[in-house]
Amino acid sequence: MRISVDKHRCIGAGLCALKLPAVFEQDADEGLVELLDETGAGHTYDEVSTTEYECPSQAIAVTAAET
């Protein structure tokens, strides 16, 4: 899978960082999303896509790996 974030859409809710701290964090200055691991290693597609769905500003995009 591939994960991307749009910091311009992010409102700093922090749900992503709470749910998947190995993948997302909030920057110290603005509280906006920072992507730590664009592959989501160690997490299932369902876990990451649920976080994408729950993002209130739709700042997270997840695409499945191409086969």
pLDDT for 65: 75
Cα 45 to Cα 11, 12, 27, 29, 64: the distances in Å are 24, 23, 24, 30, 7
Domain residues for the domain of 53 are 2-63
pLDDT band at 66 (very low <50, low <70, confident <90, very high): low
pLDDT band (50, 70, 90) for residue 67: low
CATH code of the domain in which 38 resides:
3.30.70.20
pLDDT in tens, 15-62: 999 999 999 999 999 999 999 999 999 999 999 999 999 999 999 999
Q: How many domains does the chain have?
A: 1
